C-alpha cells in the first residue's frame, strides 16, 4: 500500500500555500477581470500551452478513485488538489486556451477535508464520497460561486438555494469543484452563435484540436471532463447540449428522460425539453452519477412521473454482453449520409454490434422527423420567455434583469463585452411572444409531442419491436468561427430531445484525430436499456483515448 497522498509539486508558479489555501486557491487558479472574463494569474498568453505532463489521475474512473480513497492511497483533499493543479496548468494558458472552467469553488479543499474526516469516523456515504465534480454554470449553487449562464448580467445575482441536483450531490459526498463555461444562455441567444463562447468565460476550445469547436452548450463540461480536470461533470440539454459536446470530446453523455432529474434551481430554456445529465469518460461513471442525480423533487412537478420508474443504482444495468439479442434500428434517412468519414465509423460500429449478437433492423426510419424543427422552435421561444422570467423573478432584490426586455437592454448597454461577435436575435424573438396560453404555443407543443412521440419514436420502436435506435451523434467538430458562427452538417439529437426521451452518446472512433460519437436513442424511462447497450459497445470497442491538446487536427491521420 502506498502512503497517503501529499500535495503535488506546485504547478505554474503556484506556491504550496496558494494551492492549499481554500479561498486563495480559486483566486490563484482562475480569476475574473473587471469585465468578468476568466484568466489565469500570470499566464503568459503568447506561447503554446505546455505539453501535458503525466497526470496520475488521467482516465481514472470513479470506481478506481473510490477504491484508492477507501484504501488510504489517496484522500479527497489530495484528489481535489491534483485536479486544481491540473486546471491551473492547462486550462488558461497559450494563444488558444481551453477556457473550460469559468470558476472554481473556493471552499473545495475545505469540503474535501471535511469529507476525509467523515470517512475516517463514519465511513463513506457512497460511490461519490470525496469525488470532485464540475457543474455547468447554469446550475444554481447557494455558495460563494456565481450562477450566470455565462452572462455578465447575472454576476452577483445569487440563487436562494442550491439546485435540487446539487443538494443530492452534496448529500452523496461529492466535492463540488467548480463551474464550467458554456455557450451563453445555453446557446439560446443568437441565430449564428459560436458554441462555447460566453461573455463571462470567453471561448472554450476542443482539447483534441484547440482550433475546433467544443460544441454546445455544455461545452466547458465536455472539454474539462475530457481533459481530466474532474472525475465527472453535470451538463444540461434542451436539444443536443449534453450529447453534442460529449461526442465532440470523446465522452459518454447521457440525456435522461425529462423528469428523471430535477430542473429546479437551473437556469431554464424550455420546460418541455430541459434536463440535466451526466458527462463522463466511461459508461459506468455516467451510471454512477445518474444514480445520484435522479430523484423526485416537489419543486419540479415533472419529476413526479419518475416515481416507480427511476432506479437507485443504474450500474446494475451494465452488461458486457448487453448487445446480444438486442433489436437495434438504424434510421438512415436524415441521420446518416451528411459526412462520409462519420458514416464509415458508423459502419464499423454496426458491424461490431452485429458481431456481438445485436439484431440490426436496417433501415428503420423515424417517421415525421423532418417535421419537428418548426414547432420545436416555436415552443422554445415561448417557454424560454416564460421560464427565464420566472427564474429571474426568483432571484429577489438586486441589479439582475427581471425580464427578457431588461436583459436585451443590459446587453445593448454592455455591447463591447456581451455583443462583440454575434447578436441576440433569439432574445428579441422570445420577447415578442405572449403567454403560454396562446393558441400558437399550445398547438406547437401538441404538434411536438404528437410528431416526436406517437407518430415518431414510439411508432418506429413499436413497428420493429426495437430496444433502441442508433445513429451518428454528429459530424467531427468543426472550426471555431467567431465571425460566421457554427457550421453544422447534421446530428441525431432532435427526436429524443423534442419527445423528452433518453439518449446516450458513446465514443465511436476518430476522423483525423477528431472524436466521433454514436447515439443510442430509446423510449421514455429506458435509461437502463441504453446504459446496457452503450456499455456493451464501449467494452467491445474501447475507442476512448485522452486528448493531446493539439493546436489543430492531424490532417495526415485517418
Cα–Cα distance, 130 to 528 (Å, whole number): 26
Catalytic residue among 190, 217, 219, 306: 217
Q: Do residues 509 and 517 touch, judged by C-beta distance below 8 A?
A: no
217 catalytically annotated: yes
Catalytic residue among 233, 241, 291, 491: 241
Element (H, E) at 517: strand 514-521
C-alpha cell read off for 373: 424543427
Q: Peptide bond preceding 120: is omega within 30 degrees of 0, i.e. cis?
A: no
State the angle between helix axes of 283-293 and 527-541 in degrees (0 to 180), rounded to the nearest 10: 160
**What is the DSSP code string of 21-51?**
-THHHHHHH-EE-TT--EE-TT---SSPPPP
Cα–Cα distance, 551 to 223 (Å, whole number): 14
State the angle between helix axes of 76-90 and 62-71 in degrees (0 to 180), rounded to the nearest 10: 130
Cα–Cα distance, 496 to 133 (Å, whole number): 26
CB atoms within 10 A of CB 177: 28
Q: Do residues 181 and 487 touch, judged by C-beta distance below 8 A?
A: no
> What are the backbone angles phi and psi of residue 403, rounded to the nearest 5°?
-140, 165
136 catalytically annotated: yes
- Alpha-carbon torsion angle 382, 385, 390, 393, nearest 10: -160
C-alpha cell read off for 343: 458514416
Q: Do residues 268 and 388 touch, judged by C-beta distance below 8 A?
A: yes
Q: Determine the distance from the C-alpha atom of residue 141 to the mean position of all C-alpha atoms in its chain, rounded to a whole number.
A: 17
Q: Do residues 235 and 242 touch, judged by C-beta distance below 8 A?
A: yes
Q: Given its phi and psi angles, is residue 34 left (phi above 0), alpha (psi -120 to 50 degrees) or beta? A: alpha
Cα–Cα distance, 164 to 140 (Å, whole number): 9
The residues carrying an active-site annotation are 136, 217, 241
Amino acid at each position: 500500500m502506498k502512503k497517503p497522498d501529499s500535495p503535488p509539486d506546485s504547478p505554474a508558479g503556484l506556491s504550496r500555500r496558494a494551492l492549499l489555501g481554500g479561498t486563495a486557491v480559486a483566486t490563484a487558479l482562475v480569476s475574473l477581470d473587471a469585465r468578468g472574463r476568466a484568466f489565469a494569474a500570470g499566464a503568459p498568453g503568447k506561447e503554446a500551452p505546455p505539453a501535458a505532463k503525466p497526470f496520475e489521475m488521467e482516465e481514472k474512473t470513479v470506481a478506481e478513485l473510490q477504491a484508492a480513497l477507501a484504501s488510504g492511497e489517496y484522500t479527497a483533499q489530495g484528489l481535489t488538489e491534483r485536479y486544481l493543479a491540473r486546471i491551473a496548468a492547462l486550462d488558461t494558458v497559450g494563444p488558444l486556451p481551453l477556457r473550460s472552467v469559468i470558476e472554481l469553488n473556493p471552499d473545495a479543499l475545505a469540503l474535501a477535508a471535511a469529507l476525509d474526516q467523515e470517512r475516517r469516523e463514519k465511513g463513506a456515504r457512497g460511490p461519490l464520497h470525496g469525488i470532485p465534480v464540475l457543474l455547468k454554470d447554469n446550475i444554481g449553487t447557494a455558495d460563494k460561486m456565481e450562477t450566470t449562464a455565462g452572462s455578465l448580467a447575472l454576476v452577483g445575482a445569487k440563487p436562494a438555494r442550491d439546485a435540487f441536483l446539487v443538494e443530492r450531490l452534496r448529500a452523496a459526498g461529492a466535492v463540488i469543484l467548480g463551474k464550467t463555461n458554456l455557450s451563453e444562455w445555453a446557446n439560446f441567444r443568437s441565430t449564428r452563435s459560436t458554441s462555447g463562447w460566453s461573455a463571462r468565460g470567453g471561448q472554450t476550445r476542443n482539447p483534441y484540436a484547440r482550433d475546433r469547436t467544443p460544441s454546445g452548450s455544455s461545452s466547458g463540461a465536455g472539454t474539462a471532463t475530457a481533459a481530466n480536470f474532474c472525475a465527472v461533470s453535470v451538463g444540461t440539454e434542451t436539444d443536443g447540449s449534453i450529447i453534442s459536446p460529449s461526442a465532440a470530446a470523446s465522452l459518454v453523455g447521457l440525456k435522461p428522460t425529462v423528469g428523471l432529474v430535477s430542473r429546479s434551481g437551473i437556469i431554464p430554456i424550455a420546460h418541455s425539453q430541459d434536463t440535466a445529465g451526466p458527462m463522463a469518460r466511461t459508461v459506468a461513471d455516467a451510471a454512477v452519477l445518474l444514480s445520484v442525480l435522479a430523484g423526485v423533487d416537489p419543486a419540479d412537478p415533472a419529476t413526479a412521473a419518475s416515481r416507480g420508474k427511476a432506479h437507485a443504482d443504474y450500474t446494475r444495468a451494465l452488461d458486457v454482453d448487453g448487445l446480444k439479442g438486442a433489436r437495434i434500428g438504424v434510421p438512415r434517412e436524415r441521420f446518416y449520409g451528411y459526412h462520409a468519414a462519420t458514416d464509415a465509423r458508423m459502419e464499423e460500429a454496426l458491424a461490431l454490434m452485429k458481431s456481438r449478437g445485436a439484431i440490426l433492423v436496417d433501415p428503420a426510419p423515424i417517421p415525421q422527423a423532418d417535421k419537428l424543427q418548426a414547432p420545436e422552435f416555436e415552443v422554445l421561444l415561448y417557454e424560454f420567455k416564460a421560464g427565464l422570467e420566472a427564474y429571474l423573478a426568483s432571484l429577489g432584490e438586486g441589479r439582475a434583469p427581471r425580464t427578457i426586455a431588461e436583459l436585451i437592454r443590459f446587453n445593448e448597454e454592455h455591447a463591447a463585452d456581451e455583443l462583440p461577435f454575434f447578436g441576440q436575435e433569439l432574445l428579441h424573438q422570445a420577447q415578442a411572444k405572449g403567454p403560454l396560453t396562446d393558441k400558437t404555443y399550445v398547438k406547437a407543443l401538441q404538434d411536438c409531442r404528437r410528431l416526436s412521440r406517437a407518430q415518431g419514436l414510439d411508432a418506429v420502436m413499436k413497428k420493429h419491436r426495437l430496444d433502441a435506435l442508433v445513429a451518428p451523434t454528429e459530424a467531427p467538430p468543426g472550426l471555431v468561427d467567431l465571425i460566421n458562427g457554427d457550421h453544422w452538417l447534421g446530428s441525431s439529437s432532435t427526436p429524443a430531445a423534442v419527445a423528452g426521451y433518453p439518449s446516450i452518446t458513446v465514443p465511436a472512433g476518430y476522423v483525423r484525430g477528431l472524436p466521433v460519437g454514436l447515439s443510442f436513442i430509446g423510449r421514455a424511462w429506458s435509461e437502463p436499456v441504453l446504459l446496457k447497450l452503450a456499455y456493451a459497445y464501449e467494452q467491445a470497442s474501447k475507442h476512448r483515448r485522452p486528448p493531446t491538446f493539439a493546436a489543430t487536427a492531424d490532417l495526415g491521420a485517418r
